[in-house]
Structure 1
């Protein structure tokens, strides 16, 4: 081990024993962090010397780099900076012991700044001298062609004047490195402002931003940096604009949070500049965004082609907010559309109808006994002596089971329901989705509330063509056992075919108006509530969130509750109209007549008979239907679907719960170094020329 690296080893290795002891007693052996580190080391270590494994630089990067980084804004070779920290002996290889020291360091909450400090502490003394700081930065910023005066007054505030300079400890270094970018920006502007008029050219502004913040901005924004000059008549860029743009970059997290909050509050999913400033004023306790900073945000969000009065959706800001943003490829969608024949699309739609029918049938079958009890309760009249057969739902279940053949009696009339549920669900879901898609803003993904309600109403109205014949057949079959028992039990209950022949085509649509009164409001309430529960309660789509299976079930179940109960009066009238009236019972001439007579003869409570049963039935039915559809779709996907290329996404990958936070700290350490220079760590590497060639055009031009 070299003398220069010895202090680093002694300072860090002293923590290994205490860390190992705490790890050994903290969790089960299978979850022991030392064991996990060992598995990682053995997986990537391919170098072997005298029977001992080592990691070379490439293998080390594979072992410690975040899996979601993709080396898009942080180049792979830049992780070599961290390899030099881990390579305690300076031999170009990392042993198991070195790897444990490095992983132990990553466990610290300030590991990012610790790693950055060790990069500058070249003699491993535990402090950083002025010459060390100057040498490391000079080596990594020289390629930019933008000089930095290390004898400036700003630097003297941290290290003192020449001859009396003091060394920097760790905490002093963290403040120095955090403030360095601002001083670098000031000096770079002064370097290009040769005539001292307070302006620089657009190309010079681009070079400065690429150097100090190229890793924080998407290639699209970097290439459009010169367009900032169009914000003033002189076609040059002032120091105020440079500082304003830099402030936006430094506060990008706050910018994103404010935009997201403002967009969520907006009715149409769009905001203008005043909305942004209003939200910033109400959500920020101490900081504020100036009008110039807000105008610059709007300039880049609109690609410089619209005024600050433009109303923008969240997608318009993604190029500025996301450093990895890439423009959608216009060729993807036409290629996909062309590759899918009309026959293929029809086949996939039919397959979806088929799966929806199976799922709907399962949902209907599960809750059908509840529906039978609900129908019996709604149809019994309370005005005729001896007519009330069931005191409540439990009494109804007991009597049906005892008097009408046991369990089978609860499924009387189920077949027409199962046969008809497929087209019913297909029509309802298809119409609702079709109207919603037509009314949805393609840029914001928002749909007006009145159009959500209208889409649900259209879906409910269209399904009546299938629902009404099924409902009247089902109801008469469900009442058959009761009628047979009332007539002395001599008659044999008739089947569905007999009822269809008896009613005829016109009779099958008896009570259709009441069915409209029930199904249209039901679908209005249900689909609207379901969409808002997913969006507002479970935050579907926020930061790319995909709802879990349980969240979808919960949303579907809750949405069915108010929809079912509030439409119970229409369901009661429909049931009375479609059931076969017996001797002595009131005959209803229509929907209005039915409402009027029920209110006069039985009171308001009669209109809500079976309301609880409807809730108990509808909520699980929709939940089961949705659950089975999801399972069937995932288990049995359409077998003839053409291969579809993945479209680029604008959402950033979020840190999953399984992602080791230490990997994120390693990445953040590099981001601290990149704030000094976007090419930090690439200057002296063997791949520097290839690395520069792989940078965006604006990077390459600024490095020449």
Structure 2
């Protein structure tokens, strides 16, 4: 397949050539070998330790079609276009071996080029082997059997396997089927060092511990080679398995089970898994050469296995200047505003239900007064009949005023504690810490919650007294002046007893519903609006109902007692009085209404908070995590270097 060159690309390549051309003959510019290296090779830096810059010199012979030792602009553009092809590694390798420009590779071509770059100290390669004879027939100078491009590419795919087989036979002097670990290390360093990361190469000497008698068999060598050859498939299985694991870690049996479910034809032997575990985590393999069953590894443990360019994302990310106080203040205002908008949205949607819930909870038994409402439905009917539609929103203003700091603090504290408790390897968090984070969030909000709750409750109940002529309508400011600063925190203990358990249950349930039930993050899945809303709403149901007793006590403490009703002194007194006068069922008054209110309210609030962040991202800051494009070279000549490096990988399979 050939991809055509468009004019814009050609101009960019020509401009790149001009910027590096350092030789001029008869008015024509050229690149010598050093300048060509500058034009196509990456500059020294992180991520290139296993492939030296000088190794890119092998491309010079491919680009120098005229064999004059200089690269013209046309030669350079042709080479750049070659790198653009989807099969560029094989195209470059073919032209590298086709020194006679015949459009084919003969036995002598292959032997001469391969021998030249193996070097004198390399492990010998037997050119009379049966493997090479299968591709080229009778191996002689007069043999006319040559390999066209497609046959050559297939031979190159099998070259590494044959080199490893011959290398094992070379070190197995006694023909007993064993070699020493240090010999195996030599094989790997010569054949595959350019494909391995520094961390893996550092672990090669420990391979003597992978077998009980500290010897390496050919099965070990092939298992290692298969792991290297199938690393893309291993990475695919690891991605799936770790994303499905509750703690982000997997055992060897987890890996094998996932591989069976998610690969059509491929399979991994226990020995191959043993090598993968050993290289990902030293000590993960027992003396018998099998993975320890209790060793669980994370995705991060595997990341550096076979990519010589692998560098932790933090190391690749450009250093960020310290954030200024103004920057931090603006972020705080941004989060506060979104939390306020989300909270106000949720509160407004369910406020009529909240009013009904409050009036039902404050209604005492018939022995201390007439029962005004038979049930929640009767309450709705009477509020609408006696106070009109606006009666359902009595006390909404203080709720909206206080909901912004309340929700902002609650959401921020939960996120902050979860972040501090996260496993640094995989971002997971244990269940106890999830509960602690939720509890901390619930406790932190009471400072803002209690004052607005007591004002809201008195305004909500006021409508009853006004209707029957027991009181004059009073506004929120009158109630605040009447209560005073300390009075605004009446019932704070009950508020804590309600909000801390509520948030413990709610935030933990919400996180696990998204992850475990709706499979957020599995295969990169992102939840839609409906799934997110459903997760948030379902999480609120048990949290709301089981904390109803604390909410009933809080409501009774904060509401003004009518004539003839018990005036509660504290949480304990309210609890015992309610049990004595009204029975245990009274502690769950308004429970269904609380579920109907809290579940959708927190559902709408959390979904609104998450979606507001997506719809209105912070305008003065780039993402904390650098994007893929930010980590890739941006200039055309740098992108060319990336393509050149990919093509170099195949050629390095033939060199020491």
Class of the TM-score when normalised by the shorter of the 2 chains: 0.7 to 0.9
Report the Cα distance in structure 1 between the residues aligned to 2:411 and 2:144, rounded to whole angstroms: 78
- 1:548-559 paired onto structure 2 within 5 Å: 559=535
Contact 2:47 2:311 in 1 (8 A): no
**1:27 is matched with which residue?**
none
Structure 1: 5+ residue stretches without partners: 1-11, 21-32, 331-339, 638-645, 680-704
**1:499 is matched with which residue?**
480
Report the Cα distance in structure 1 between the residues aligned to 2:399 and 2:496, rounded to whole angstroms: 18
**1:562 is matched with which residue?**
538
**1:698 is matched with which residue?**
none
Of the structure 1 ranges 612-621 and 133-142, higher mean CA displacement relative to structure 2 is found in 612-621
Is 1:45 the counterpart of 2:18? The answer is: yes
Is 1:89 the counterpart of 2:76? The answer is: no
TM-score scaled by structure 1?
A: 0.69
- 1:239-388 paired onto structure 2 within 5 Å: 239-304=218-283, 307=286, 308-309=291-292, 310-314=294-298, 315-325=300-310, 357=336, 359-364=338-343, 369-370=348-349, 372-373=351-352, 375-376=354-355, 378-379=357-358, 383=374, 388=382
Report the Cα distance in structure 2 between the residues aligned to 1:104 and 1:415, rounded to whole angstroms: 64
- 1:77-156 paired onto structure 2 within 5 Å: 77-156=54-133
**2:651 is matched with which residue?**
673
Alpha-carbon spacing, 1:98–1:348, altered in 2? closer, same or farther (3 Å): closer
What do you get for the CA RMSD once the two structures are aligned? Answer: 5.3
Contact 2:536 2:606 in 1 (8 A): yes
Report the Cα distance in structure 2 between the residues aligned to 1:347 and 1:233, rounded to whole angstroms: 62
Of the structure 1 ranges 656-665 and 212-221, higher mean CA displacement relative to structure 2 is found in 656-665
Q: Select 1:430's aligned residue among 413, 416, 431.
A: 413
Displacement after TM superposition at 1:299 (Å) = 3.0
Deviations 1:114-156 (A, max 9, x none): 2211111112211111111111111111154322121222211
State the SS of the aligned residue for 1:274.
Answer: helix
Q: Select 1:192's aligned residue among 171, 196, 212.
A: 171
Report the Cα distance in structure 2 between the residues aligned to 1:266 and 1:469, rounded to whole angstroms: 43
Is 1:455 the counterpart of 2:430? The answer is: no
**1:34 is matched with which residue?**
7
- 1:391-410 paired onto structure 2 within 5 Å: 396=389
Report the Cα distance in structure 1 between the residues aligned to 2:200 and 2:583, rounded to whole angstroms: 67
Deviations 1:88-120 (A, max 9, x none): 334455445444434444444323212211111
Of the structure 1 ranges 221-230 and 82-91, higher mean CA displacement relative to structure 2 is found in 82-91
State the SS of the aligned residue for 1:634.
Answer: coil
TM-score scaled by structure 2?
A: 0.73
Displacement after TM superposition at 1:446 (Å) = 3.2
Alpha-carbon spacing, 1:567–1:241, altered in 2? closer, same or farther (3 Å): closer
State the SS of the aligned residue for 1:288.
Answer: coil
Displacement after TM superposition at 1:261 (Å) = 3.3
Greater RCO (CA < 8 Å, at least 6 residues apart): 1
Contact 2:513 2:535 in 1 (8 A): no
- How many residues matched? 607
Alpha-carbon spacing, 1:510–1:43, altered in 2? closer, same or farther (3 Å): same
Alpha-carbon spacing, 1:613–1:226, altered in 2? closer, same or farther (3 Å): closer
Is 1:170 the counterpart of 2:149? The answer is: yes
Deviations 1:196-233 (A, max 9, x none): 34333333222211111001112232233233223345
Deviations 1:9-30 (A, max 9, x none): xxx9xx78xx35xxxxxxxxxx
Contact 1:461 1:520 in 2 (8 A): no
**1:623 is matched with which residue?**
610
**2:366 is matched with which residue?**
none
Displacement after TM superposition at 1:490 (Å) = 10
Deviations 1:39-58 (A, max 9, x none): 35414532275776666656
Displacement after TM superposition at 1:38 (Å) = 1.9
State the SS of the aligned residue for 1:631.
Answer: coil
Report the Cα distance in structure 2 between the residues aligned to 1:434 and 1:417, rounded to whole angstroms: 21
Contact 2:334 2:618 in 1 (8 A): no
**2:571 is matched with which residue?**
none
Alpha-carbon spacing, 1:165–1:155, altered in 2? closer, same or farther (3 Å): farther
Report the Cα distance in structure 1 between the residues aligned to 2:83 and 2:560, rounded to whole angstroms: 77
Structure 2: 5+ residue stretches without partners: 316-321, 361-372, 569-573
**2:370 is matched with which residue?**
none
Report the Cα distance in structure 2 between the residues aligned to 1:584 and 1:96, rounded to whole angstroms: 101
Report the Cα distance in structure 1 between the residues aligned to 2:379 and 2:203, rounded to whole angstroms: 85
Alpha-carbon spacing, 1:157–1:410, altered in 2? closer, same or farther (3 Å): same
